[in-house]
Amino acid sequence: MDLRARLTRAALARPAVLLATSPGATRERLAVEAELGRRGWPSAAGPASADLLVFAGVPLPLRDDDWAERVWTAVPAPKARVTVTDAEHAAHTLDHGHRTLLTPAAHPAERHETATAAAPDHGPHDSQGSHGGMDHAHHGRPPGTVAGLPLAERAEDRDGLRLDRLHVPLGPALPDWPAGLVLRLELQGDVVRRAEVDPMPTPAASRPAFWSEPWLKALAGEPGTSGEAARRRCAAHLDSLGRFLGVAGWSDAATRARRARDRTLGDAHGEELRPLVHPLVRRVRKSRTLRWLTAGVGELPGGPVAGDAHSRLIGWLDGIEYALDAIGDRTPLADHPLIGPRGRVDDTEAPASRTLLAALPALLAGAEFACARLVVASLDPDLDELAARRAPDGRTHG
């Protein structure tokens, strides 16, 4: 082994992973996150700091925009990418990606590939960095171009100043972001002027949406206990909590929430979970800084998620503690009202996450970028719920 290969091996012993989740791939995402936690591989905040790009679920292009390819070209060499399509094979797939990353033969080709890609050709949407661009094409005629990119036009901002307007798609490959959500933002500075929700189409799934699975099963008449449902609810709220804390910049607490979530899903007893969950819940609940930072953000006057970001957070904390106490419950779930982590689960109404998505544009207009991220994280819509169910016999409904 020559020195170069040995250095690369040492440098990339723990590659930084950028995880991009497709809608409907929650199981795969959770498996990958748990495995990354076990291995101690750091998670990258964006493509520029990543070595290994992991897709949970097959990344489908959004209209004509192959976002997965864009993200891939933005990752600096040496790099590797893998797609996890089966939660059970997450560890194996990560090993495979790591091997590819360390294979010296792969590097010259990769280097060449990025060298050309990093120069002009990012595709029509990637004029602005690696997360999507200033997409002016359908917003009037640009006044000029630089390096083939249109310049930003101006408009009055909230204080009446004429400022550049940037059209930025947000998502789908952002850290702590709902899988499959794309927001079309119009930004002035870091203030959102307008937002449109443009969710990726969720592919028809043969399995029910992961977070509402116990309730959907009960609805279909399958047996299940309230204890199992409580476990799923507890994990779902811990997952939302972890993402919210990640967006709020409290990485220490976010890591704890994720660890507790993985243990909850891993069939640990309620007694084992309490020492993990209770101190975390207590600390988050009592944090005055967090209250100061999130109170008044994304206030909704009514509906199932009324209140501001902080009250929704407290709602999760209550839900976590309540669900934790009910994990041992052996009564059949069908005897209880079918209310999943995000709201009522039934056949007739639209899934709860559709209401959450509908609330977004009004809440985001006028918010600063950081607040916009907090609003999205505090609603945490689950786009898996929007998928049409493909029954085993091939029919779709839902």
Q: Write out the residues near another protein by the rule CB under 8 A.
A: 7-8, 10-16, 40-42, 45-46, 48-49, 51, 74, 76-78, 111, 114, 118-120, 122, 126-134, 146-149, 166, 168, 174-176, 187, 189-190, 245-253, 255, 287, 289-290, 292-293, 368-371, 373
Cβ closest to another protein, residue 371 vs residue 387: 371
CA pair distance 288, 158, nearest whole angstrom: 30
Nearer to another protein, 175 or 304 (CB): 175
Give least dist CB 296 to another protein, A. Answer: 10
State the minimum distance, in angstroms, from the CB of residue 369 to another protein: 5
Q: Which is nearer to another protein, 175 or 203 (CB)?
A: 175
CB of 391 to another protein, least distance (A): 39
CB closer to another protein, 72 vs 215: 72
Q: How far apart are CA 355 and CA 147, in angstroms?
A: 42
The single-letter DSSP state of residue 45 is S
Q: Between β-strands 17-21 and 52-56, what pairing exists: parallel, antiparallel or unpaired?
A: parallel
Q: Map tokens 């409580």 to a residue.
A: 230
CB closer to another protein out of 181 and 327:
181
| Closest distance of CB 77 from another protein, Å | 4
Q: Which residues pair with 81 in a beta bridge?
A: 53
Q: How far is the CB of 218 from another protein (least distance, A)?
A: 36
Task: Decide whether 43 or 85 has the Cβ nearer to another protein.
Answer: 43
| Helical residues (DSSP H) of 75-225, grouped into ranges | 90-102, 106-118, 213-219
**Paired sense of beta strands 145-146 and 149-150, if any:** antiparallel
Coil, helix or strand at residue 15: coil
Assign residue 39 a region (left: φ > 0; alpha: ψ between -120 and 50; beta: otherwise).
alpha
Please list the alpha-helical segments (H only) found in 303-368: 309-325, 352-364
Residue closer to another protein (CB basis): 71 or 323: 71
When the beta carbons of 136 and 217 are compared against another protein, the nearer one is 136
Nearer to another protein, 189 or 315 (CB): 189
Least spacing, CB of residue 275 vs another protein, in Å = 19
Sign of the C-alpha dihedral computed for residues 38, 40, 43 and 47 taken in this order: negative
Closest distance to another protein from the beta carbon of 264 (Å): 21
The answer to whether 357 and 176 are in contact (CB under 8 A) is no
In contact, 76 and 12? CB cutoff 8 Å: no
Shortest gap between Cβ of 102 and another protein (angstroms)? 11
> Taking the complex as a whole, how short is the minimal distance between the CB of residue 122 and another protein, in angstroms?
5
Nearer to another protein, 70 or 217 (CB): 70
Q: Residue 149: CB partners within 8 Å, gap ≥ 6? A: 127, 128, 134
Q: Is the dihedral of CA 340, 344, 346, 352 positive or negative?
A: negative
What CA–CA distance (Å, rounded) separates 183 from 359? 13
Which helix (H) or strand (E) element contains residue 240?
A: helix 226-247
Closest approach of another protein to the CB of residue 118, in Å: 5
What residue has token string 């991009």? 20
Residue 201: CB minimum distance to another protein, A: 24
As a whole number of Å, the end-to-end CA separation of the chain is: 56
Structure tokens at 30: 């959770």
- 10 Å Cβ neighbour count for 30? 21
Whole-angstrom distance, CA of residue 8 vs CA of residue 85: 28
User: Toward another protein, which CB reaches closer, 291 or 389?
Assistant: 291
